[in-house]
Amino acid sequence: MTDWLTSIEGTSTGHHLALALALFAALTHAIFGALQKGRHGPWLTRGAVDLCYGVMAAPVAFFLVPWPEPHMWIIFAGAFAIHTSYKVLQAMTYSRGAYTVVYPVVRGTGPLVTVLAAGLVFDEIFSPLQWAGLGALLAGIFGLAAYNIRHTPVDRQLLFAALALALITGMMVALYTTFDAYGIRATANPATFLAWFFFFDGISMPLLTGRRLLALSRAEALPLFRRGVLGAVTALMSFGAIMMATRLDKVGEAAVLRETSTLFAALIGWLMLNEVVGRRRLALMALIALGAVIVEMGG
């Protein structure tokens, strides 16, 4: 399987598979984001999720994939530092602002900076039509954020800090997307990168939240870790899919398509949680979808 995946890098088949993986990553990331909402809060939930996927990745890393090349250890160290910073910022953001307000800001900032970074690091160039599509997608995402700010009860005193943190977190999304794309391309076997990445990435948040996790009663811990297992499986699928997409094809395009997660999140709220969408939100969701289609067509 791995040999076949590496053989289609840069081909038409690889491009279409990368497209499918990026859209799958968007859907699963929307589910992953929704799973982090709940009574345990973003810190404990993320600690449980990371612990679960670190445990799941360990046997694969140690026994099933080739050992990493020597130069990969410094890349893993960089990824560990970047993702730890991202997750701390993300938890701070979710703790200060309503999820429906800050999530679109985080996800809207990420693709714009990623496209710029991919141009510098990987010499990728967006066509004028693709820039127009990116503009439409971002207008839809930030439009949703503005709509939710207006119609969601929020603490106005914390709003500025929450939005500032959301912008910084979005920049960290761009940084880890670009760095992870570099990392997964730096090893002969992409499965090696994925397994060791998830093993190392599962360390930091359990350490940061360990005392609070250990203090939970059995009645509190069981539902948290049930959510943690479900979140871990979703995270493995979501982050694994987008990393593989950035190896198979262009980083910028994959990053833009992944941010249709905002659209999927709104659809999940509408179809499964009985949230009211309304004409304006529906129009903004359509704008996000249109932007993604234009980016793909422009390539």
Q: Per-residue pLDDT tens for 224-248?
A: 899 899 999 999 999 999 999 999 9
Phi and psi based region of residue 38 (left: phi greater than 0; alpha: psi -120 to 50; beta: remaining): left
Tracing tokens 């990493």 back to the chain, one arrives at 68
Asked whether residue 271 carries a pLDDT value surpassing 80, the answer given is no
Q: Are 138 and 291 in contact (CB under 8 A)?
A: yes
CA distances for 88 relative to 9, 23, 43, 77, 253, angstroms: 34, 26, 8, 17, 27
pLDDT tens per residue across span 135-181: 998 998 888 888 877 876 766 677 788 888 989 999 999 999 999 99
What contacts 186, CB < 8 A, 6 or more positions away? 71, 72, 75, 193
Q: Residue 259: which of 270, 273, 245, 247 has the closest Cα?
A: 245
Rg (CA), the chain: 19
Q: Which residue has the higher pLDDT, 288 or 131?
A: 131
pLDDT tens per residue across span 245-269: 999 999 999 988 888 887 787 777 6
Measure the CA–CA gap between 98 and 217, rounded to whole angstroms. 28
Q: Are 15 and 249 in contact (CB under 8 A)?
A: yes
**What angle is formed at CA 26 by the lines to CA 105 and CA 291, rounded to 5 degrees?**
65
pLDDT tens per residue across span 1-37: 677 877 888 888 988 899 999 999 999 988 887 776 6
What's this model's pTM, rounded to 2 decimal places?
0.87
188 CB burial (10 A radius; 0-12, 13-18, 19+): exposed
Mean pLDDT calculated for residue range 45-56 = 93
Tokens of 249: 């094809």
What integer pLDDT is reported at residue 66 of this predicted model?
94
What integer pLDDT is reported at residue 236 of this predicted model?
94
Backbone angles phi and psi of 125, in degrees to 5? -125, 125
